[in-house]
Structure 1
Amino acid sequence: MNSLQNRANAVMAFSISAIFCLLGAIAFSALIIPSNPSGAVALDSLKVVTGRYDRNWVDYKTRNNEFANTVMRIDADLSSLFHWNTKQLFVYAVAEYSTPTHPKNQIVLWDTIIKRKSAAVISKRGLNNKYSLIDVNKKWTDINANVTLHWNIVPYVGFMTYGHSQPSEGYAFPLPSGIQT
């Protein structure tokens, strides 16, 4: 005959197995929920300045780095990404470009975290880049970049999924090599 401890163990093992099956079903069902997000980023202005990377960063050889300062506008409707398994969205604007020495470069210009469906419609004007737009080669000469909007869906249970705006919604712009202070 089974003891009380053996019966409790069997009930707990069955309960844990049932919970994991339920969580697996939740994780896979969230992947098939249809969504129709849209987003676009456009640059209003671009200014290249020359200077040091940071006043606390000591590198006396590279005092003349070129930085790009941007002013952009973002229009996006990501409310269709929110469903019963969405905890939050991580939304960010990325500048993507290539150079002869580095074929694929990506720099995050701006980001935000959206925790509610009511805040998932973004219409921002006059946004400055939140992070430095600096190239590894320290000079912006004859580089064309596309700016696109990316998002990550952080679920309560399951897989983190990614998405981005269509390449046609990106904004191609030349980064001049002129020095402005």
Structure 2
Amino acid sequence: MNNLQNRANAVMAFSISAIFCLLAAIALSALVIPASPSGSIALDSIKVVTGRYDKNWVDFKTQDNEFANTLMQIDADLSSLFHWNTKQLFVYAIAEYSTPTHPKNQIFLWDTIIKSKSDAVLRKKGIVNKYSLIDVNKKWTNVHATISLHWNVVPYVGFMTYGRSQASEAYAFPLPSGSQT
């Protein structure tokens, strides 16, 4: 005869197994839901300035660092990524470029979190980069960057999925303001 402890253990083991199977089915089913997100990003302008970043920057004593400021426009419809298992979207813009000393560089320009399907259509102009464009080499000489829009789908249960728009054409960084060629 089973005592109360054995019966409680059997009920709990069965309940946990059933919940695990249900969560696994939810996670796998969310991967097969069709989605057709579209997005594009373009730079309206790039301005390179020379100066000191701030007192917390590693090279705060030098005055010859170059920083790039951008104006962007985003046109994206990510509403098809929202379904019953989508908690939120993390959307971000990345500049990718290469230099002789570092073959692959990626810098976050801007990001946002979208929590509802009604906010998933982005039509924004005049967006200033949220994060500074600072290169390891401290100079933006002969750099051509492509900009792309990326998104992460954060589910309630399951696997985080990623996506990206097609990269833009390469943008050349201009000379800093007030410098001579």
Question: TM-score scaled by structure 2?
Answer: 0.94
Q: Which moved more, 1:49-58 or 1:12-21?
A: 49-58
The offset of 1:63, in angstroms, is 1.9
- Runs of 4+ in structure 1 off by over 4 angstroms are none
Distance 1:8 1:67 in 2: 64
- Once the 2 structures are TM-superposed, how far is the Cα of residue 58 of structure 1 from its aligned partner? 6.0
Pair 1:175-2:173 in alignment = yes
Alignment match, 1:113? 113
Q: Which residue of 2 aligns with 1:53?
A: 53
Alignment partner of 2:103: what SS?
coil
Trace 1:103-142 onto structure 2 (pairs within 5 A). Answer: 103-142=103-142
- Contact 1:139-1:177 at 8 Å conserved across structures: no
- The 1:140–1:29 alpha-carbon spacing in structure 2 relative to 1, beyond 3 Å, is same
Equivalent-residue separation in structure 2 for 1:31 and 1:94 (angstroms): 25
Q: Is the 8 A contact 1:91 1:112 kept in 2?
A: yes
Q: How many equivalent residue pairs?
A: 179
TM-score by length of 1: 0.94
Structure 1 residue ranges without an equivalent (≥5): none
Query: For 1:51-82, what per-residue CA distance to the aligned partner results, in whole angstroms no more than 9, with x for missing partners?
Result: 11213436355321101110110000000000
Q: Structure 2 unaligned segments of length 5 or more: list them.
A: none
1:39 corresponding residue in structure 2: 39
User: In the aligned structure 2, how far is the partner of 1:29 from the partner of 1:41?
Assistant: 31
Q: In the alignment, does 2:159 pair up with 1:159?
A: yes
1:139 CA displacement: 0.2
Change (3 A) 1:60 1:93: closer
CA contact (8 A) 1:149 1:164 kept: yes
> For 1:75-99, what per-residue CA distance to the aligned partner results, in whole angstroms no more than 9, with x for missing partners?
0000000001100000001000011
Report the equivalent of 2:17: 17
The 1:60–1:89 alpha-carbon spacing in structure 2 relative to 1, beyond 3 Å, is closer
The one-letter amino acid of 2:107's match is I
1:96–1:104 CA contact under 8 A, matched in 2: yes
Helix, strand or coil: the match of 2:157? coil
- In the other structure, the counterpart of 1:88 is 88
What RMSD, in angstroms, separates the aligned Cα atoms of the two structures?
1.4
Q: 2: distance between equivalents of 1:134 and 1:174?
A: 15
